[in-house]
Each structure stands twice: as C-alpha cells, then as structure tokens.
A and B are shown apart, each in its own frame.
Chain A
Amino acid sequence: MQQVKIFLDESEMPKQWYNIQADMPTPMKPPLHPGTGQPVGPDDLAPIFPMNLIEQEVSTERWIDIPEEIQEKYLLWRPTPLVRARNFEKALGAPVKIYFKNEGVSPAGSHKPNTAIAQAYYNKVFGVKRIATETGAGQWGSALALACQLFGLECRVFMVKVSYEQKPYRRLMMNTWGAECIPSPSELTQAGRSVLAKDPDSPGSLGIAISEAVEDAVTHEGSKYSLGSVLNHVMLHQTVIGLEAQKQFEKIGVYPDVVIGCAGGGSNFAGTALPFVRDKIHGKQVEIIAAEPSSCPTMTKGPFTYDFGDAVESTPLLPMHTLGHNYMPAPIHAGGLRYHGMAPIVSQLVLDGLVTPKAYLQLDTFSAGVMFARTEGTIPAPETDHAIAAVVEVANKAKEEGKEKTIFFNFSGHGLIDLTAYDAYLSGKLHNYEMPEEEIKRALEGIKDLPKP
C-alpha cells in the first residue's frame, strides 16, 4: 500500500515560530498614527493588546520561542498530518504530486486556533481577565472561545447580527466553549447603541462589530482585544503550519515546486508559505501562490496600470469601472489584496515578487472543492476551495506542458458547518455574468492611454 499521511511525532513539533520580518527584502514600515502623524508605537496599541503581543508585532527576531504552555495546548490536535492526495491526483490526470496540510482537524475546524491559543496565553500571563473580539460567520469567534476556555479567560464575541442569525452552530460552539456571543450592534457599547438609534433593525457589519469589541476592551479594566488575521503577530503564530510541513517533507525527501494557500486576511496563507518564502529569499526555486476570491474574470485578463503613489502597488480593479466616469477607476490591487484588508506582510511580499496573487471565480472554486470532496472525502471550507482551484489550475498547466510538479497546499479548514454554501452551488444559485464584448471593448478603450507595466 502506498503511503498517504506523513506524521510528525509530538516531540518533533516546532519549538519556535518563524518571523519573516527578520528576512524581508523590503522591511515593513510602521503605519502612521492618524492623530499624531508619528509612527505607531507600542504605547499606542497598549489599550487593546498586552505588551508581550505588541513586542511580537514589532519584533525583527528571526525565531521566537513557543512557550511550553502553548505547545501543550497545540498537542490537542497538532502536529497536523501532511497528506498525499493520491485520489485527487488520479482524477486530475496530471503529472503532479499533491500534498496538503490538514488544518481542518483542529477542534474549531480550521487553522484559526493556532493564533487564538497563543493570544489567549499571552493575555493570561499579562494578567488579562477577558478578551473581546468580533466575528462574522464565527470561525474566528469559535477559535478564540476555545482558546480562552483552555486558559481560563472570559471571552466576549461580538457577532455580526446577520451572521448571528444565519450561523447558529458556530454561535453554539462559542457558547459550548463558555464564551458570550452577542449579536452586534448591541446595547452594550456606545458604538452599538448609536447604530441602533439610527436603525433598530440594523443587520450589523464587521466594522460595527470591531468598533464594539475595541470599545469593550478599552473601557473595561482587565479586558483586551484580539483579532484572527492581518497583524504581524498573527502571521507569526500561524507559521507553525509551514514549519511542520517542512519537517514532514524532509522525512520523505521531497520539496514542493509550488506552495499554495487561500488568502483572505492572510493568516493561513502566511502560516503555510512564510517558511518557504524564507527559502525562496535564500535562492530556492519555489512558486508561491496566494489564491483569492473574485467574481471578475477580466481582472486576470485585462491590461493593468500601476500607481506608486503610496507604499503599496495598486492596479485598476477592472476596465469596466471606467464606464461612464471621466476619472480613474478605484485603484485596487490585482486580486484585491490591498483592497480588502490583506495582511501588510503578505502585500509587501507580493510587491517584492516573492508571492503571486491569483484570483479565482466562485463557480470554479466550488467545482474544485466538490471534486476534492468526491475524491479525498473531506469537504473543504469554501475559503479552502480557492486554494484547491489554484491546485487544479497548476495541475492542468503541468498536464499541458507535460512537466511534473509537486504541489503543496494548505487545507485551511473543513466545510461541515458551512454546507449552505455548497447547497447554493449544487442547486445552481451561483452563476457568472458574461460581460458583453462591446462593454469590454469600451472599457479597454477608456484606459488605453494609461501607462502599462
């Protein structure tokens, strides 16, 4: 029988996280405080984060020890298996070897607890009693609820109201793990009350929920805030994924040609990819792909222009945005990385040419996810489907070119609490819009004089 899973012994779990900030070709610049215009410093973040996490946020130390208390909690599900997707390979019929890291085995069902556990620990040793956060569908909220329970902290989760109503199972997970889950906007904060005063039926938004969670942390003694993506310390904690994978690949004498992760806020992508980015910086040939959602096929086909007006490269979203307007369309990074709040570290690595962002249409991602589920069994989270769509694309290209490739991707989470998304796909509710040719031509005409890369 051929080997499918590559395990690490518990003693082989990484003892340190990897901090890419020690090796980035272009060092990260601190953002400017909107009030003072000065670089944001540790004291500015102190109202919401404990100083031990702020230190990690700004650190340029290459390796940061994982405290034993965190390692002990990680052992509940880590090290996660590296799995050879042999059935998926056969179905693709391409000259590829596909490996995935199964982060769906965590109690919360995704990679999120990797940082939730760490953040709960650091808050606990700092003397924090309660952590507040926001959540949409509840992936992050449930991970933090779990982590707080394991370290004896209170947890208050402001859940966007429309999500609170639509996702009862994630809410119940939070309650089961002892967290308070509050539909946002709520009467508990000034931010919530002012929204409700204008619109008592407000369905809420992430922006409102974040405002409530931050206010809760700032205005209550012993309370801090936590978030599940974007920030540097979150990326740091998630590197346990890629570091384990590297050890597992070493055991079988394999190094991937392509590393793929789905990218929303960037945490699971960064966790998977950053240890490999380090190798790439030191000369290793490896392609690293951040797979993002898009409903815009022309974004990957149309011409792009670049505006270096600020630190982050930006491109027009779509030619079609020039329709009917005389001014430049909204500058949005190809693939929407910057636009929808991608982690600054990941954005910078894209700018430095170390990471390639690729956007995938919704229908293609679900199609890939269903194919994966029907061959490998595990049903991926819809976010994970973006990584699988990228795998399919790379595999098909390998087939066309007749070149063998070893592909590694992060299976960031299972989709068992998200089956309504598959229901929408399987019942045909999702469809792409085919832009009429004359509209595409008109849009391209509108930007033909803009500088090309």
Chain B
Amino acid sequence: MDTQEYDALEIRCPKLGHQLRFSYCRKEQSDLPCARSLICWEGRFPVSRFFQETLSDRQWNDCFEKPPQSKVVSLMELIEKAKKAGSEKG
C-alpha cells in the first residue's frame, strides 16, 4: 500500500470520538502525526514502519519518544501563552 491508500483508511478516533481517516492522523500536529498514531493504527497496517520511513529521527523522537506531559502542566503552559497573547493584544 502507498500513502494514498493508507490515507483512505478509517478508524474511530478515541480522542475526538468519531471516525477519521489516516490522512488526518498523519498530520494532526501540523508537521507531526498524532502521538497516538502507533497505538491506534498498528493493528491495521504496519504504521510504525510507515513513520520510520517518512519521519526524520528528530520528528520520530518529538512525536513518539518524548514522555507525555501531564494535563496540569500542559494547562500551565497554555495559560502562560494566553497571558502573553492577551498582553500583546493590549
């Protein structure tokens, strides 16, 4: 199968709660796939091999190797970002 064929495959996304195509998962974080892509898709096609071939080592690390952040910590970061956005807006 090639990328186009994989892109057409559908799955139920546990994050969003509805059917989605791999084309969405592949770019969920803009230049990176969704961090759940391996766990969601590995039973459907060899997705780890696919990303090993299509992502750089840095991208693979950024997406799949970094330990996930706790919710509270990610909210802290968003609060800081939002405060900055608010002050720039004046």
Contacts and interface: CB of A to CB of B under 8 A. Distances in A.
A215 B16 contact: no
Contacts of A294: 39, 43
B71 A219 contact: no
Contact residues on A (Cβ < 8 Å of other chain), bracket: 35 or more
Interface residues of B, number: 53
Contacts of B15: 136, 206, 340
Given A47-B83, A310-B67, A433 B42 contact: yes
A285 interface: no
A32 B73 contact: yes
Contact of B16 (A31, A32, A136, A317): A136
A219 B83 CA distance: 7
Nearest to B39: A336
A320 interface: yes
B17 to A, nearest CB: 3
B42 A296 contact: yes
A167 B12 CA distance: 13
Given A44-B76, A47-B79, A219-B89, A340 B45 contact: no
Contacts of B46: 320, 433, 435, 439
A421 B19 contact: yes
Contacts of B48: 318, 320-321, 323
Contacts of B40: 293, 295
Interface in B50-77: 52, 60, 64-65, 67-68, 70-77
A218 to B, nearest CB: 4
Contact of B30 (A45, A199, A264, A424): A199
A205 B79 contact: no
B80 interface: yes
B36 to A, nearest CB: 5
Contacts of A231: 71-72
A218 B79 contact: yes
Given A31-B72, A136-B16, A330-B65, A340 B36 contact: yes
Contact of A420 (B19, B24, B64): B19
A331 B44 contact: no
B89 A211 contact: no
Interface in A232-257: none
A137 B76 contact: no
Contacts of B83: 47, 218
Contact of A162 (B16, B43, B80, B86): B16
Contacts of A297: 43
Interface string A254-279: 00000000001000000000000000
Interface string A203-222: 10111001100110111000
B27 to A, nearest CB: 9
A430 B72 contact: no
Contacts of B70: 31, 344
Contacts of A219: 82, 85-86, 89
A29 to B, nearest CB: 10
B61 to A, nearest CB: 9
Given A31-B70, A218-B83, A362-B12, A318 B38 contact: yes
A205 B76 CA distance: 19
B39 A332 contact: yes
B23 to A, nearest CB: 9
Given A191-B81, A218-B82, A294-B39, A341 B12 contact: no
A231 B75 CA distance: 11
11 contacts: A190-B82, A191-B82, A203-B24, A207-B29, A210-B78, A211-B82, A293-B40, A295-B42, A317-B39, A320-B46, A325-B52
Given A207-B29, A218-B82, A433-B45, 17 more contacts: A47-B79, A136-B15, A137-B18, A166-B18, A166-B19, A198-B30, A210-B78, A219-B86, A295-B43, A299-B39, A318-B48, A320-B42, A330-B65, A332-B39, A339-B35, A362-B43, A421-B12
Give the 4 A-B CB pairs with smallest separation, nearest first: A295-B43, A136-B16, A137-B17, A190-B85
Interface of A: 30-35, 40, 44-45, 47-48, 136-139, 160, 162-163, 166-167, 189-191, 195, 198-199, 203, 205-207, 210-211, 214-215, 217-219, 227, 230-231, 264, 293-297, 299, 310, 314, 317-318, 320-321, 323-325, 327, 330-332, 336, 338-341, 344, 361-362, 382-383, 418, 420-421, 424, 429-433, 435, 439
